[in-house]
């Protein structure tokens, strides 16, 4: 993995546990989550209709879309409940010195 | 044991039931009988993205035929027009016979029709299925002034879509507010303002007295003697459960097929799910009928479990949505039996929600906001409702405080 693609998102304490923040980079939106076992990142827009998942509810390992309750697994991106049927893209995350980085390809 | 399981009605509840049965029962034959010659598809986009050309037919199907084949679920396009519950048989128009050991009825609902005393009944268009959506889309393409009779969800969603297609839209509603049967007035008024801002005309408290056709133009006479001239008329005046087939049988009907909390009807081995049911809800300790996406899906899944022998109560707290213009409206629980209302927010850009409480316990909420703005809080309300929660009203009313705290505390 080349180092240049790791983008700094913010400090680890900027996200509460079982919650997420939205992160915009260039023309893309991502969601970065803090789950009980670490940090994860996915695309920030639902695959069903163009709605920001930042307003969704994080429950266990799942993010529920705020528009029609489509559900995705945060770790794998898998679409678990309709009307969402297309998976959500996920991104690698690392924490370095209390800072969160995501790797955008 | 290998059974013959028939699902009558290939809509949302039917397909979810079929797949759930297969999850729990790999042996039985499962056959969906559907009047529509289409695999099960989503209806919500018909009044929205399908009319707007943002989604096409292929985007609407729940699953491809391969998924059904892989799961060994048969799908047959046939209209059933006779049932014999005693001998466990269904009959098609051509007298084909279908034998079942277990039957799920998921025939959905039918649109109520206006009854006009002249020959114009065929000039009024309705929207329930893909065929009708295609016809409306095609017919309105060269029309300008469109009138929608009925200010319920489907009528308003069509009004929103047609307005976005630059049509001049008038909505005529008999009641004193939009979506009056279900939605609290506070939210209905916000929806109404948006329609008006977008150029739609909303007429409340008016009844249709007569419709006449003159040189291809319709004149709609209202009970105050005013006349609306229009090129095309669509009616969305509510629906009734599709139970005609069972009217002369001993299946218990009362505003739909009466079922208990296990989706069982009054006849052994006959189940029902979705729009067609008046089902017992153990949380509310009464029967109710719902017409919503989430209900059709969850009720179908619950029926599937019970048919496969996994005894399961249906306990979902009601939830539904409607999308109009760039707004998303959501409702959960019961918003008409309350002694206190708490408002959260006052700007639809950030979301406005009204919570309904009784004896300090949260019973439901209805919210409206730019796409997605109210979803999380409405979802949290469903969870709080389910647990009969006495809520901290200060947190509910303060948009700066996240409601997540309320569910985490439990
Ligand atoms: C235009 C429109 C927009 C909607 N928008 C929303 C929305 O935004 N949000 C929301 O929550 N809900 C919405 N809904 C409601 C939701 O789509 C329904 O509640 C849901 O489809 C009900 O599922 P069902 O399986 O009970 O019935 P249906 O999906 O209606 O399926 C019933 C099927 O049974 C077939 N059938 C009936 N009788 C027979 C027979 N004798 N023989 C063979 N087949 C038969 C019918 O042809 C039909 O295909 C909308 C509905 C419509 C029509
Ligand atoms: S926009 Fe996310 S489920 Fe519809």
pLDDT digits (tens, 9 = 90+) for B299-326: 999 999 999 999 999 999 999 999 999 9
Q: For residues B121 and B67, state if they share a domain.
A: no
Query: Does residue A105 have a pLDDT over 90?
Result: no
Bridge partners (DSSP) of residue B370 are: B327
- Name the percent of chain B lying above pLDDT 90: 93
| Helix, strand, coil content of chain B in percent (nearest 5) | 25, 30, 40
The CATH number of residue B271's host domain is: 3.50.50.60
Which two tokens mark B35? 């009047």
The residue from B275, B307, B339 where one domain ends is B307
Site of tokens 């109710």? B288
Name chain B contacts of A70, Cβ cutoff 8 Å.
none
Of the candidates B62, B375, B408, the beta carbon closest to that of A55 is on: B375
Q: For residues B298 and B368, state if they share a domain.
A: no
Average pLDDT over residues B266-271: 98
In a domain, B319, yes or no: no
Give the number of A-B residue pairs with CB atoms closer than 8 Å. 52
Cα separation, B406 vs A10, in Å, equals: 27
Cβ burial, residue B196 (10 Å; 0-12/13-18/19+): exposed
Q: What is the CA radius of gyration of chain B?
A: 22
| Helix, strand, coil content of chain A in percent (nearest 5) | 10, 50, 40
Q: What are phi and psi of A96, to 5 degrees?
A: -135, 120
Ligand lying closest to the C-alpha of residue B45: 1
| Residue B65 CB contacts under 8 Å (≥ 6 apart), including other chains | B39, B75
Which two tokens mark B150? 């009925």
Number of domains in chain B: 3
In a domain, B206, yes or no: yes
The CATH number of residue B356's host domain is: 3.30.390.30
What is the domain partition of chain A in residue ranges? 3-103
Average pLDDT over residues B365-393: 94
Q: For residues B104 and B246, state if they share a domain.
A: yes
> How many other C-beta atoms are found inside a 10 Å radius of the C-beta of residue B57?
12
Q: For residues B247 and B102, state if they share a domain.
A: yes
Q: For residues B173 and B272, state if they share a domain.
A: no
> In the structure, what pLDDT confidence band is assigned to residue B181 with cuts at 50, 70 and 90?
confident
Cβ atoms of A71 and A42 within 8 Å: the answer is no
Q: For residues B227 and B149, state if they share a domain.
A: yes
Query: Does residue B410 have a pLDDT over 60?
Result: no
- By CA distance, what is A46's nearest residue in B? B372
Query: Does residue A42 have a pLDDT over 70?
Result: yes
Question: Looking at CA atoms only, how far is residue A3 from chain B in angstroms?
Answer: 35
Q: For residues B104 and B188, state if they share a domain.
A: no
Cα separation, A77 vs B136, in Å, equals: 37
In a domain, B75, yes or no: yes
pLDDT digits (tens, 9 = 90+) for A53-104: 999 999 999 999 999 999 999 999 999 988 888 999 999 999 999 999 999 9
Domain extent at residue B98:
4-43+59-109+239-307
Cβ atoms of B209 and B221 within 8 Å: the answer is yes
Q: For residues B224 and B247, state if they share a domain.
A: no
pLDDT at B51: 98
Question: Looking at CA atoms only, how far is residue A97 from chain B in angstroms?
Answer: 28
Query: Does residue B71 have a pLDDT over 90?
Result: yes
In a domain, B52, yes or no: no
Of the candidates B62, B323, B375, the beta carbon closest to that of A82 is on: B62
Ligand lying closest to the C-alpha of residue B292: 1
In a domain, B76, yes or no: yes
pLDDT at B116: 81
- By CA distance, what is B49's nearest residue in A? A49
Q: For residues B218 and B260, state if they share a domain.
A: no
> In the structure, what pLDDT confidence band is assigned to residue A3 with cuts at 50, 70 and 90?
low
Q: For residues B120 and B211, state if they share a domain.
A: yes
| Residue B185 CB contacts under 8 Å (≥ 6 apart), including other chains | B177
Cβ atoms of B298 and B275 within 8 Å: the answer is no
In a domain, B54, yes or no: no
pLDDT at B117: 75
Please tell me the class of the A3-103 domain.
mainly beta
Share the mean pLDDT of chain B.
95
* The model's pTM: 0.95
Q: For residues B339 and B258, state if they share a domain.
A: no
Q: For residues B229 and B253, state if they share a domain.
A: no
pLDDT digits (tens, 9 = 90+) for B81-111: 999 999 999 999 889 999 999 999 999 999 9
The residue from B307, B340, B355 where one domain ends is B307
Query: Does residue B119 have a pLDDT over 90?
Result: no
**Measuring from each residue's beta carbon to the nearest atom of ligand 1, which residues come in under 6 Å?**
B 8-14, 33-36, 43-44, 46-47, 79-80, 106-108, 127-128, 154, 242, 245, 274-276, 291-293, 296, 320-322
pLDDT digits (tens, 9 = 90+) for B223-239: 999 999 999 999 999 99
Query: Does residue A2 have a pLDDT over 60?
Result: no
Task: Give the three-class secondary structure for A25.
Answer: strand
Query: Is the beta carbon of A48 within 6 A of some atom in ligand 2?
Result: yes
In a domain, B313, yes or no: no
Query: Is the beta carbon of A83 within 6 A of some atom in ligand 2?
Result: yes
Q: Do B294 and A69 touch (CB under 8 A)?
A: yes
Q: Which residue's alpha carbon is at the smallest distance from atom 15 of ligand 1? A: B292
> In the structure, what pLDDT confidence band is assigned to residue A22 with cuts at 50, 70 and 90?
very high
Average pLDDT over residues B279-296: 96
Q: Listing from the earlier edge strand, what are the strands of the sheet with B286-288?
A: B257-259, B277-281, B286-288
pLDDT at B199: 98
């Amino acid at each position: 993995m080349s180092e240049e693609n790791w983008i700094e998102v913010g400090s680890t304490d900027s996200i509460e546990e079982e919650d997420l923040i939205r992160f915009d980079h260039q023309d893309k939106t991502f969601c970065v989550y803090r789950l009980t076992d670490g940090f994860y990142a996915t695309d920030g827009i639902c695959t069903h209709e163009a709605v920001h998942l930042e307003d969704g509810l994080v429950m266990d390992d799942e993010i529920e879309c705020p528009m029609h309750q489509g559900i995705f697994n945060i770790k794998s991106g898998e679409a678990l409940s309709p009307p969402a049927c297309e998976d959500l893209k996920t991104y690698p995350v690392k924490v370095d010195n209390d800072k969160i980085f995501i790797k955008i390809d | 044991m290998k059974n013959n399981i028939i699902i009558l009605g290939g809509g949302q509840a039917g397909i979810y039931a079929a797949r759930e049965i297969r999850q729990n029962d790999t042996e039985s034959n499962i056959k969906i009988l559907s009047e529509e010659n289409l695999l099960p598809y989503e209806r919500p986009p018909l009044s929205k993205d399908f009319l707007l050309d943002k989604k096409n037919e292929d985007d609407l199907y729940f699953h491809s035929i391969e998924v059904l084949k892989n799961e060994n679920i048969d799908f047959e396009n046939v209209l059933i027009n006779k049932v014999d519950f005693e001998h466990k048989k269904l009959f098609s128009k051509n007298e084909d016979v279908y034998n079942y050991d277990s039957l799920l009825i998921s025939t959905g609902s039918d649109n109520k029709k206006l009854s006009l005393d002249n020959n114009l009944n065929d000039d009024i268009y309705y929207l329930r299925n893909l065929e009708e959506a295609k016809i409306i889309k095609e017919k309105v393409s060269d029309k300008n002034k469109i009138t929608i009779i009925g200010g319920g969800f489907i009528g308003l969603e069509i009004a929103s879509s047609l307005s976005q297609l630059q049509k001049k839209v008038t909505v005529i509603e008999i009641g004193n507010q939009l979506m009056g049967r279900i939605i609290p007035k506070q939210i209905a008024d916000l929806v109404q303002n948006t329609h008006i801002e977008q150029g739609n005309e909303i007429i409340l408290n008016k009844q249709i007295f007569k419709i006449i056709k003159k040189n291809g133009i319709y004149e709609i006479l209202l009970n105050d003697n005013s006349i609306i001239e229009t090129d095309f008329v669509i009616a969305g005046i509510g629906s009734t459960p599709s139970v005609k087939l069972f009217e002369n049988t001993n299946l218990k009907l009362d505003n739909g097929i009466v079922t208990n909390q296990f989706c069982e009807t009054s006849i052994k081995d006959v189940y029902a799910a979705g729009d067609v049911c008046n089902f017992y809800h153990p949380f509310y300790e009464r029967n109710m009928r719902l017409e919503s996406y989430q209900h059709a899906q969850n009720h179908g899944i619950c029926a599937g479990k019970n048919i496969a022998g996994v005894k399961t109560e249906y306990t979902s707290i009601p939830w539904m949505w409607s999308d109009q213009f760039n707004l998303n409206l959501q409702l959960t629980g019961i918003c008409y039996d309350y002694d206190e209302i708490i408002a959260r927010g006052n700007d639809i850009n950030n979301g406005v929600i009204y919570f309904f409480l009784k004896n300090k316990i949260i019973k439901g909420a209805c919210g409206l906001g730019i796409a997605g703005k109210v979803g999380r809080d409405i979802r949290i309300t469903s969870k709080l409702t389910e647990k009969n929660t006495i809520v901290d009203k200060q947190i509910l009313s303060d948009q700066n405080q996240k409601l997540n705290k309320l569910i985490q505390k439990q």
